[in-house]
Amino acid sequence: MADSFHRHSTASPQDADAVSSHDGAGPFHVNITNATPQTNLPLRQAFRQPICAPEPKIHDITEKFLKASNALEVGQLVKDDYFTLFESIGAIEILDPKMDSGFLKPGETLEDDYDTSRSLLPEEIIGIMDQLLCYEMAWHTGYPLSQTLFTSVYIDKLLWPEPKTLEQSQFFPNGESAHGPSAQSLLQVLRAYCLALIKGCDYVILKITSRDYFEEEDFCTQTYNRVLFVSTPMDVFLRELDAAVEVMEDTNFEIKDALRSAIISRLKFRQDFLRALDLDHPLEHMSSSWSPVLSGITTIKATHQLGQSVPGAFSTKMQRRLASTVPPRPIVEFDFKDALDLLEHICVDCEEATRFIDLPQDPLEYQSFLWTFASRLPAPLVYSRSYLSTLMFHPEILNTAVSLPLADVKTLVFPASLVLDPINWTLPPPRNPLLPKPPRLQLAMLIDEFVDRSGQPYLDLWVALSQNRCRLRRMLSHVITAWDLLQADASLVDTDLASAASELSITDQILEFSLSTWVYHKKLWMIEKVILLGFEQDIYLPDEFSGMHLFLSLIVTRRRELLTRIQTHHRTRHTQLLRERKLRLANEVAEAAPYLDSLAAEATGTAALSLALARFYMIAAYCGLLPVPKRPFSTESLRYELRMKPFLAVQPPEVPPFEDFKAHTQPYGPYTSPDPGFAADLRNERSELWAEVDGNVKAAKDAFTELKRLGAGAAKSQGVEKAWGKEVQNLLASCVALGVASAGVKDAVRKAGDAGDPKGLDIRAEIPDSGAKKRYAEGWIVVKIVKEA
């Protein structure tokens, strides 16, 4: 038993002979067990024995164990006290073909019989490279490596057994193929491509894990105990690729020119892609790193048909060799065209993200950029999002003199205010700590306190903005709660600010409750976004449209009121400064006006459009134009509570009580049986019912036109001017579409005449699907009224 703990097993010559005498199809699996001396079991491959530790003794306890377990009662468990039923569910059942990735069917072998040293045709090289690209992209969409790249026999050879140097990472021992030098050089080309691909994956994992992401939801970073050349620097891989390009360019190497250039372009693409993925890429070169990749894609697309697939080069059997606690799963099939589209999508998004570097240094510009980036269609993949957030939190970018929340506060409530005068921070505190501090110093300290306090909620908002759309909606509702707490704290600071200001007798120069106003404004903005995202993601059912739009308009109206208060204050302050001949300060206040005007125009438009939609959908519901699902187990008030849940804890704004809500959304009684007043108002085109729709559509249109006139600069969206312009245009288009829809309903009512039943109109409402480019703006659902044929 002494040497029973070696890592190697010794096969006796007899066994080996016995093996060779068996010819082919014999019961191999039986022999395998026979060929193994049973005592020489190596456990723990990575086991390193401490010098003095004794070798463990091995006792065969089979017989007694079986006897003892047999003596147990049915259902009795002998178990670790801390081992729970829940934990046991995660266990993999050995020898269950569906669970156990190591299970071999009779006659099946563990090793794949694919020979990685066999010579490949140039066409096959192209085929394998393109297939690898497909799997790489499948991985980017969230599939694990075990079902994608790690099914490649070639990749497996390069990564296992774990190479200590890059030279050890070969397809065949010593890097020498048994099939002659020409086979060897093509395989070296493929090797260089695979190595660069693996290093690229390493960069992708590092980039994604460095930012907020959700394992297995967004992306699988699991590498199954394989090390993706983490410590080898990038230039080594670039050199390998260079050498491969040289091999291909050698004119002595006989190969069709088309194939030659196809392979070279793939190698060059890998170089460009690897450079773009590099984590240490200098900021100033980042924006130019994606265009070479994009142009490489075109060549790959054009030459793909030259390739020839090699099905044997990929196998699910590879999963048996991976350290894996999950059952075996099939290889992901991914179309080459889709893969290229996805790759292009990543490149374009990342290139767009690099524009973040050149944005004006203003948190509001950053915020617009993040919002617009998250709104891109198709939605950016996790890599592109991590790419942007890495840029966002890059020390060179966030290294501003003023803290970001403070810059934001200043723009909204403190333009040219004494509160933020830099001199306040230079005043020395009194020598005697018992004496009161000078009021201006107090101002500075209060602001510092607030900036400290608001840092985390502000950051949370940004983190939420760099998630995918669905999670953005969910995370925002948590961020809102955090901002609600912040608002409570802000109002305390506001009181202190006010008392310091009264000592200086500048109370009239400061907006009352300025800090809490700022927090409240931001909070309301977030609530609006949550509701709009709900519409965008089809959270609300058609018969809820009216109510949710009404709630939205309520929220936006609150924000509009805040803005009016701020605007009035700034205007008085401006006149006052002009009167005092403080022209520089007056000018600063005036400069803040366009942003506030832009916010106000946007809020006015949003409030009007949502109110118009609320009224329109109410009419549509009364006319039976909207589908109502059967809900045998829910009540209206419970549904209302559910919808309002994210905002119930928040105050202000308080969620209106259900009775109020019902009275406003169903003024004519239940949708199924409206009182006669509805039919009368419906027929009367001058009734208040219609006036609320058409009047608000007009008001919204005017407000959005004003918003457009003020421009992207005023809206602090200069960095995303084009997308911003499009968004405003879409809002206008939604207004027009609503006008058309309301005209359609009116028309049908007119045709039905005075005796017509409001529920029997000759029209139906088509609800545009989300994400199918059928809506003008994704967050604004405007139905299309179609005549019944």
Q: Is residue 57 within the footprint of other proteins (CB under 8 A)?
A: yes
How many whole angstroms separate alpha carbon 536 and alpha carbon 540?
Answer: 9
Q: Is residue 54 within the footprint of other proteins (CB under 8 A)?
A: yes
Q: Is residue 395 within the footprint of other proteins (CB under 8 A)?
A: no
Shortest CB 7 distance to other proteins, Å: 7
Residue from 21, 23, 51, 111 binding other proteins (CB under 8 A) = 111
Q: Is residue 772 within the footprint of other proteins (CB under 8 A)?
A: no
How many CA atoms, within 13 angstroms, populate the side-chain half-sphere of residue 519?
31
Residue from 27, 93, 235, 561 binding other proteins (CB under 8 A) = 93
Q: Which is nearer to other proteins, 13 or 428 (CB)?
A: 13
Interacting span for other proteins (CB under 8 A) from 41-49, 262-270, 715-723, 748-756: 41-49
Cα dist from 681 to 123, 377, 676, 687, 767, whole Å: 74, 41, 9, 6, 25
Interacting span for other proteins (CB under 8 A) from 58-66, 210-218, 399-407, 561-569: 58-66
Number of residues that bind other proteins (CB under 8 A): 73
Q: Is residue 214 within the footprint of other proteins (CB under 8 A)?
A: no
Residue from 2, 3, 75, 436 binding other proteins (CB under 8 A) = 75
How many whole angstroms separate alpha carbon 391 and alpha carbon 730?
Answer: 29
Q: Which is nearer to other proteins, 46 or 435 (CB)?
A: 46
Residue from 27, 64, 648, 787 binding other proteins (CB under 8 A) = 64
Handedness of CA 17, 19, 25, 27 (dihedral sign): positive
Q: Is residue 42 within the footprint of other proteins (CB under 8 A)?
A: yes
Residue from 1, 2, 3, 20 binding other proteins (CB under 8 A) = 20
Q: Is residue 110 within the footprint of other proteins (CB under 8 A)?
A: yes
* CB-CB neighbours of 216 under 10 Å: 10
Q: Which is nearer to other proteins, 35 or 451 (CB)?
A: 35
Residue whose tokens read 């690229």: 200
**Residues 325-364 contacting other proteins, CB under 8 A:** 325
Cis peptide before 378 (omega within 30 of 0): yes
Residue from 70, 174, 251, 252 binding other proteins (CB under 8 A) = 70
Cα dist from 210 to 206, 221, 262, 369, 448, whole Å: 6, 12, 35, 21, 29
Q: Where are the alpha helices (DSSP H) in 318-438?
A: 336-353, 363-374, 382-392, 395-398, 404-413
Shortest CB 136 distance to other proteins, Å: 24
Q: Is residue 260 within the footprint of other proteins (CB under 8 A)?
A: no
Cα dist from 476 to 460, 481, 524, whole Å: 9, 9, 11
Shortest CB 206 distance to other proteins, Å: 22
* CB-CB neighbours of 153 under 10 Å: 20
Interacting span for other proteins (CB under 8 A) from 27-35, 115-123, 200-208, 693-701: 27-35
Interacting span for other proteins (CB under 8 A) from 108-116, 176-184, 502-510, 577-585: 108-116
How many whole angstroms separate alpha carbon 306 and alpha carbon 127?
Answer: 8
Residue from 1, 3, 13, 330 binding other proteins (CB under 8 A) = 13
- Largest alpha-carbon pair distance within the chain? 110
Q: Is residue 750 within the footprint of other proteins (CB under 8 A)?
A: no
How many whole angstroms separate alpha carbon 708 and alpha carbon 724?
Answer: 9
Interacting span for other proteins (CB under 8 A) from 74-82, 357-365, 522-530, 763-771: 74-82
One-letter identity of residue 786: V
Shortest CB 70 distance to other proteins, Å: 7
Q: Is residue 90 within the footprint of other proteins (CB under 8 A)?
A: yes
Q: Is residue 104 within the footprint of other proteins (CB under 8 A)?
A: yes
Residue from 27, 41, 230, 651 binding other proteins (CB under 8 A) = 41
Structure-token pair, residue 368 = 């617009």
CB 143 within 8 A of CB 339: no
Q: Is residue 634 within the footprint of other proteins (CB under 8 A)?
A: no
Residue from 1, 25, 61, 772 binding other proteins (CB under 8 A) = 61
Shortest CB 204 distance to other proteins, Å: 24
**Residue 716's closest CA among 368, 358, 410, 402?**
368
Shortest CB 325 distance to other proteins, Å: 3
Q: Is residue 43 within the footprint of other proteins (CB under 8 A)?
A: yes
Q: Is residue 324 within the footprint of other proteins (CB under 8 A)?
A: yes
How many whole angstroms separate alpha carbon 622 and alpha carbon 690?
Answer: 14
Residue from 1, 2, 3, 8 binding other proteins (CB under 8 A) = 8
Q: Is residue 35 within the footprint of other proteins (CB under 8 A)?
A: yes
CB 700 within 8 A of CB 777: no
Q: Which is nearer to other proteins, 13 or 395 (CB)?
A: 13
Q: Is residue 15 within the footprint of other proteins (CB under 8 A)?
A: yes
Residue from 31, 468, 564, 687 binding other proteins (CB under 8 A) = 31
Shortest CB 9 distance to other proteins, Å: 6
Residue from 2, 3, 21, 76 binding other proteins (CB under 8 A) = 76
How many whole angstroms separate alpha carbon 134 and alpha carbon 314?
Answer: 12
Q: Is residue 174 within the footprint of other proteins (CB under 8 A)?
A: no
**Residue 609's closest CA among 779, 726, 377, 367?**
779
Shortest CB 163 distance to other proteins, Å: 15
Report how far Cα 761 is from the mean position of its chain's Cα atoms. Answer: 44
Three-state secondary structure string covering 585-637:
HHHHHHHHHHHHHHHHHHHHHHHHHHHHHHHHHHHHHHCCCCCCCCCCCCCHH
Q: Where are the alpha helices (DSSP H) in 231-306?
A: 234-249, 257-277, 283-286, 291-303
Interacting span for other proteins (CB under 8 A) from 95-103, 231-239, 459-467, 774-782: 95-103
Three-state secondary structure string covering 722-758:
HHHHHHHHHHHHHHHHHHHHHHHHHHHHHHHCCCCCH
**Residues 304-323 contacting other proteins, CB under 8 A:** 321-323
Interacting span for other proteins (CB under 8 A) from 30-38, 146-154, 180-188, 307-315: 30-38
**Residue 582's closest CA among 433, 424, 416?**
416
Q: Is residue 74 within the footprint of other proteins (CB under 8 A)?
A: yes
Q: Is residue 753 within the footprint of other proteins (CB under 8 A)?
A: no
Residue from 97, 109, 335, 478 binding other proteins (CB under 8 A) = 109
Q: Which is nearer to other proteins, 32 or 220 (CB)?
A: 32
One-letter identity of residue 492: L
Q: Is residue 97 within the footprint of other proteins (CB under 8 A)?
A: no
Q: Is residue 62 within the footprint of other proteins (CB under 8 A)?
A: yes
Interacting span for other proteins (CB under 8 A) from 12-20, 192-200, 485-493, 571-579: 12-20
Residue from 3, 23, 25, 59 binding other proteins (CB under 8 A) = 59
Q: Report the interhelical angle of 180-209 vs 257-277 (nearest 10°).
A: 30
Shortest CB 109 distance to other proteins, Å: 6
Q: Which is nearer to other proteins, 96 or 561 (CB)?
A: 96
The three-class DSSP label of residue 780 is: strand
Q: Is residue 279 within the footprint of other proteins (CB under 8 A)?
A: no
Shortest CB 218 distance to other proteins, Å: 23
**Residue 710's closest CA among 544, 626, 596?**
596
CB 659 within 8 A of CB 575: no
Q: Tell the burial category of 393 from Cβ atoms under 10 Å away from its Cβ (0-12, 13-18, 19+).
A: middle
Q: Is residue 170 within the footprint of other proteins (CB under 8 A)?
A: no
